[in-house]
Copies of this chain bind each other. A is one copy, B any other.
Amino acid sequence: MAASTLTEVARLAGVSPATASRVLNGSARIPGKDIAVRVRQAAESLGYIPNAQAQGLAKSSSGLIGLIVHDIADPYFSAIARGVQEAAREQHKMVLLATTEGAPESEKEAVGAFAARRADSIVIAGSRTSRVEDRDGNAELAAELDRYCRNGGHVGVIGHGIVGATAADGYHVVSVPNEELAAQLATELAASREDFVIIGGPEGLFTSDDRIRGFQRGLAVAGLPAADVIRTDFNRAGGFEAGLALAARITASQPRTETKRLCIFAVNDVMAIGAAAALRSQGLRVPRDAAVAGFDDIETLRDFRPALSTVHLSLEEIGRQAASRAAGPSADDAGSPPITGQVILRRSTEVAHPSSAES
C-alpha cells in the first residue's frame, strides 16, 4: 500500500488537486474556509504525507542542507554538526550527512551527491590542506564546488577556503582565528619560560599549520626561541606517539632539576590527551614533569585530569554560523559576529608548586 497522494486527497474532498495543494501547503492563494476544512479532513483520514521529492522537483528546492565532516564520531565534528543541525532546524531544513576521512576526492564526491539531491546549501568542516599529493584532489573539489555555486548553490566552509576555489558568490567561509589564538596561548604560557615543543599534524594541514605558526610567533614575541615541531597524525594516536618520543627525551635529560620543564603544545585537544597518556604510560606526571596544552576545548574532554589548558572554541557556534551564512543572502552574513576563542589555562600547565617539588 503506497502512501496516498494529493490527487487522492483531492478526490476524497471533492475538489481539484490544485485546490488541495493550495490548502495543504502554503500558497499565496488561500481557498475558502469550508473547503479548506474538507480538504484537511480528507488528508487526515487518508494519512496523507506530501511527497517532498515531488515538491522539490516542482519548486526546485529541496529543503536539504549538506554537511561534510571527516568523522562524525570525532567530538570536534559532532559539536559542529550540532550547530549545523540547530541552524537547519531554524531554517526548516534537514541535514544530509557525509563523512570523508578528509580525503579531497571523497569530499568532491560528497559535493556531487549533494548537488544531485539539489541541497540548498553545503557546509564543509574539517581542515583544508595544501599538501602536494592533495593538489589534484583539491582542484577537482574546487571545480565541483564552483559548479555547484554556479548552479545556485551556497556553500559555507569552516576554517580556510578551499584551495583554488574562485570567489563565486554563494561561497562563504567562516574563518577561525587559529593563528591569533595560538599566539595568545603561547604568550600566556611563555611567562614560565620553559622549553617548548609543538606536536603538530602533517605538514600542509591549514588548521595545524596556522596554530603552529601562531604559537611560534607568540614565543618569538616573548623573546623565546622557536619550539621544536614534531609532525604526526592529527589524532589521539599521533599525539600518543609523539608523547612517547618526548617522554624518552625527558627521561634522558635527568636529573630534571638541571633542565627546564618541557611544555608541550599539541595542536588539538585529542592529540594533547594522547600525548599526556603517553607521558603517563612512561611514568611521567603532568604537570610536574611536563606541561601539556591543547586546542579546541572539547566538551567531553573537560573532565580529563589534569584539566587540560587549551583554547576554547565555540564549535557549535561555528557550525551554526556556517550553516546560516550559507543559508542565503539574509542579513545574517553581516549580522553574525566573527568567531572568537579564549585561552583557558588549567591544571595541565600549572607551574610546579615549590612546596610540592621533590625535596
Q: Is the CB of A95 within 8 A of B97?
A: yes
Interface bracket on A: 35 or more
**Chain B CB within 8 A of A257 CB:** no
Q: Is the CB of B85 within 8 A of A97?
A: yes
Bound CA span A118–B56, Å? 12
- When the two chains form the complex, which single residue of B53, B75, B151 contacts A117, counting CB atoms closer than 8 Å? B53
Q: Is the CB of B72 within 8 A of A75?
A: no
Min CB distance A155 to B, Å, is 15
Bound CA span A75–B94, Å? 21
Copies in the complex: 2
**Chain B CB within 8 A of A152 CB:** yes
**Chain B CB within 8 A of A311 CB:** no
- When the two chains form the complex, which single residue of B57, B74, B273, B276 contacts A57, counting CB atoms closer than 8 Å? B57
Q: Is the CB of A150 within 8 A of B1?
A: yes
**Chain B CB within 8 A of A248 CB:** no
Min CB distance A325 to B, Å, is 20
**Chain B CB within 8 A of A47 CB:** yes
Bound CA span A47–B112, Å? 11
**Chain B CB within 8 A of A301 CB:** yes
Q: Is the CB of B75 within 8 A of A81?
A: no
- When the two chains form the complex, which single residue of B49, B78, B99 contacts A115, counting CB atoms closer than 8 Å? B49
**Chain B CB within 8 A of A303 CB:** yes
Quick one: closest B residue to A93, CB to CB?
B113
Chain B neighbourhood of A305, CB < 8 A: 304-305
Most buried by B among A1, A57, A115, A117: A117
**Chain B CB within 8 A of A96 CB:** yes
**Chain B CB within 8 A of A193 CB:** no
Bound CA span A115–B316, Å? 28
**Chain B CB within 8 A of A28 CB:** no
